[in-house]
C-alpha cells in the first residue's frame, strides 16, 4: 500500500456486509471516475476474502474492473464483486478441528496483500461493520474512503443510505397487495420486515402502506394495546388489520428475537413475527397470518433515487481520493455529498427519533405503536 498521500495508480473496491440495491451503481461510478483519472480499478471478491484466501478463487480474488466490466450494471441488484458478512480481517473466523470457530487478527496480512498488489487506495462500501473495519485499516496507514450502504438506514452522519428507498418501496407494494386479501378474509396480517435494531423500514413502509399497527425497536410494545386497536377497528366496521413488525422489535420487558449468534458475524435477528402471530390470534379471536419479507427487501433493481445516490457516492469517493482525503466516509447532506471522518460515522447507530415528523404523522393518522 502506498503512503496515504502518494500518487494513486491503482484503486481497489470492496463491498462488505449484507448486499443492498445500488452497490453496482457505486461500483460503476467509481470505476468510470477512476479510469477517467488514469487510475486502474480493481474489485476484491467477497469483502476482503479475495485477498485473504486468493487460492479459493479461479481469478485470484482480485478482478480488473474495466469499462466493459461495469457496463449495464447500474440497474442490477446485488454486487458483481460479491460480499460477505463473515470477513472482518480484525476478527477473522477460523474453523477449529472440533467444528468451533476462533477469531484471529489477520489485518496485517491484508495490509501486506494491498502492498503486494500495489494497491494505493481502497474504497470500502458497506454498513456500520464495514465502516469500522475501514476506520481501523485507515489507522494502520491504509488510504481508504468509505461509502455507506444499508437497507436499514441505521448509519449515522448520512441523511440516508442507498438501498433503503428500494426496500421501503417493495415493502409498500407488498402491503398494498396484502390489504386486499386481508380485507377479503377479515384477517389480521402480520408483516415482518428487516432493519436490525432500527425501525426505519417498518415505520416508513407502514405509514406509506397504510398499516394499522407498526412495531419498531425504538418503542417496546404491549400486545394488549395492539389487540385493543384491532378490536376497535372491528367495532367501527373495519374487519381486517395490517400489522408491520420490525425484526428488532421487542415486547415491554422482553428481548429481541435472535435466530443465531455465530463467531465472526453479527447476530441474526428474526422470529418476532411468529412470536406475536399466535398471541394476537388468541387475544383478538381473529384469524391471523404472517408474512416475512426478509431478503426480498434486499433484492431487485434499485429505485431511481437509490441509483442516483449510489452513483453520486461512487463518484464522490473517487473525488475524495483525488483531493488527497483518507479515513473519511461520503455522506448525503442534501443538496451536497460531504465527507465525514470514518470514526464519527461509526460512533452511534441512527435510530428513529420518536419526535420525528413521520412519527408525528403516524400518530395523527391513528397508527398504533403498541404503547
Q: Is 21 in the site for ligand F6P (CB under 6 A)?
A: no
Q: Judge if the upstream peptide bond of residue 335 is cis by omega within 30 degrees of 0.
A: yes
Smaller CB separation from ligand F6P, 2 or 87 = 87
Q: Is 106 in the site for ligand F6P (CB under 6 A)?
A: no
Q: Which SS3 state, helix, strand or coil, does residue 111 take?
A: helix
Instruction: Find the binder of ligand F6P among 127, 169, 251, 327 (CB under 6 A).
Output: 127
Smaller CB separation from ligand F6P, 212 or 247 = 247
Residues 124 and 131: beta-carbon distance below 8 Å: yes
Instruction: Find the binder of ligand F6P among 140, 185, 225, 268 (CB under 6 A).
Output: 268
The yes-or-no answer on residue 152 being catalytic is yes
Smaller CB separation from ligand F6P, 11 or 331 = 331
Instruction: Find the binder of ligand F6P among 194, 203, 249, 316 (CB under 6 A).
Output: 194
Q: Which residue has the cell 469483502?
A: 47
Smaller CB separation from ligand F6P, 32 or 76 = 76
Q: Judge if the upstream peptide bond of residue 359 is cis by omega within 30 degrees of 0.
A: no
Residues 12 and 122: beta-carbon distance below 8 Å: yes
Q: Pull the grid cell for residue 8.
A: 494513486
Question: By rule CB under 6 A, what count of residues binds ligand F6P?
Answer: 13
Q: Please list, in sequence order, all residues whose beta carbon lies within 8 angstroms of the beta carbon of residue 360, skipping any fewer than 6 positions away.
A: none
Q: Please list, in sequence order, all residues whose beta carbon lies within 8 angstroms of the beta carbon of residue 350, skipping any fewer than 6 positions away.
A: 153, 154, 155, 156, 198
Active-site residue identified among 19, 46, 128, 152: 152
Q: Which SS3 state, helix, strand or coil, does residue 312 take?
A: helix
Residues 316 and 125: beta-carbon distance below 8 Å: no
Which one of 44-52, 57-65, 193-201, 317-325 is the stretch in contact with ligand F6P (CB under 6 A)? 193-201
Smaller CB separation from ligand F6P, 195 or 327 = 195
Instruction: Find the binder of ligand F6P among 74, 83, 130, 150 (CB under 6 A).
Output: 150
Distance CA 7, CA 347 (A): 31
From residue 152 to residue 171, the character string flagging contacts with ligand F6P as x (rule: CB under 6 A) and all else as - is x-------------------
Q: Is 250 in the site for ligand F6P (CB under 6 A)?
A: no
Select the residue whose beta carbon is closest to ligand F6P and give its number. 194
Q: Pull the grid cell for residue 242.
A: 395490517
Residue 208 CB: number of other CB atoms within 10 A? 15
From residue 59 to residue 98, the character string flagging contacts with ligand F6P as x (rule: CB under 6 A) and all else as - is --------------------------x-------------
- List the interface residues with ligand F6P, window 292-321 (CB under 6 A): 298
Smaller CB separation from ligand F6P, 85 or 241 = 85
Q: Is 151 in the site for ligand F6P (CB under 6 A)?
A: yes
Residue 350 CB: number of other CB atoms within 10 A? 18
Identify the burial level of 45 via C-beta atoms within 10 angstroms of its C-beta, where 0-12 means exposed, 13-18 middle and 19 or more buried: buried
Q: Is 205 in the site for ligand F6P (CB under 6 A)?
A: no
Dihedral sign for Cα atoms in the order 181, 284, 238, 207: negative
Residues that bind ligand F6P (CB under 6 A): 18, 85, 127, 150-152, 194-196, 247, 268-269, 298
The residues annotated with a catalytic role in the active site are 152
Amino acid at each position: 500500500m502506498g503512503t496515504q498521500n502518494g500518487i494513486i495508480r491503482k484503486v481497489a473496491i470492496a463491498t462488505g456486509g449484507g448486499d443492498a440495491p445500488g452497490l453496482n451503481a457505486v461500483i460503476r461510478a467509481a470505476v468510470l471516475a477512476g479510469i477517467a483519472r488514469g487510475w486502474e480499478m480493481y474489485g476484491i471478491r467477497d469483502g476482503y476474502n479475495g485477498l485473504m484466501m486468493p487460492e479459493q478463487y479461479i481469478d485470484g480474488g482480485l478482478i480488473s474492473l474495466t469499462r466493459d466490466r461495469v457496463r449495464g450494471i447500474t440497474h442490477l441488484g446485488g454486487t458483481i464483486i460479491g460480499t460477505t458478512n463473515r470477513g472482518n480481517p480484525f476478527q477473522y473466523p477460523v474453523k477449529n478441528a472440533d467444528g468451533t470457530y476462533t477469531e484471529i487478527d489477520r489485518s496485517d496480512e491484508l495490509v501486506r496483500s494491498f502492498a503486494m498488489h500495489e494497491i494505493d487506495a481502497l474504497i470500502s462500501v458497506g454498513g456500520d461493520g464495514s465502516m469500522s473495519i475501514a476506520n481501523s485499516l485507515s489507522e494502520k496507514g491504509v488510504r481508504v474512503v468509505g461509502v455507506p450502504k444499508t437497507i436499514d438506514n441505521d448509519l449515522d452522519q448520512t441523511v440516508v443510505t442507498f438501498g433503503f428507498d428500494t426496500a421501503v418501496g417493495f415493502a409498500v407494494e407488498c402491503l398494498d397487495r396484502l390489504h386486499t386479501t386481508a380485507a377479503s378474509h377479515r384477517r389480521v396480517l402480520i408483516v415482518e420486515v428487516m432493519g436490525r435494531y432500527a425501525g426505519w423500514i417498518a415505520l416508513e413502509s407502514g405509514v406509506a402502506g397504510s398499516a394499522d399497527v407498526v412495531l419498531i425497536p425504538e418503542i417496546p410494545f404491549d400486545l394488549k394495546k395492539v389487540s385493543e386497536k384491532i378490536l376497535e377497528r372491528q367495532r367501527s366496521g373495519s374487519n381486517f388489520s395490517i400489522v408491520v413488525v420490525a425484526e428488532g422489535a421487542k415486547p415491554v420487558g422482553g428481548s429481541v428475537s435472535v435466530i443465531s449468534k455465530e463467531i465472526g458475524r453479527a447476530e441474526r435477528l428474526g422470529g418476532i413475527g411468529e412470536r406475536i402471530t399466535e398471541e394476537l390470534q388468541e387475544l383478538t379471536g381473529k384469524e391471523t397470518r404472517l408474512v416475512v419479507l426478509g431478503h426480498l427487501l434486499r433484492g431487485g433493481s434499485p429505485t431511481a433515487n437509490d441509483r442516483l445516490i449510489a452513483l453520486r457516492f461512487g463518484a464522490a469517493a473517487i473525488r475524495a481520493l483525488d483531493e488527497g482525503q483518507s479515513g473519511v466516509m461520503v455522506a448525503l447532506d442534501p443538496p451536497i455529498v460531504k465527507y465525514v471522518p470514518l470514526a464519527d460515522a461509526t460512533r452511534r447507530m441512527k435510530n428513529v427519533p420518536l419526535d420525528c415528523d413521520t412519527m408525528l404523522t403516524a400518530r395523527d393518522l391513528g397508527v398504533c405503536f403498541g404503547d
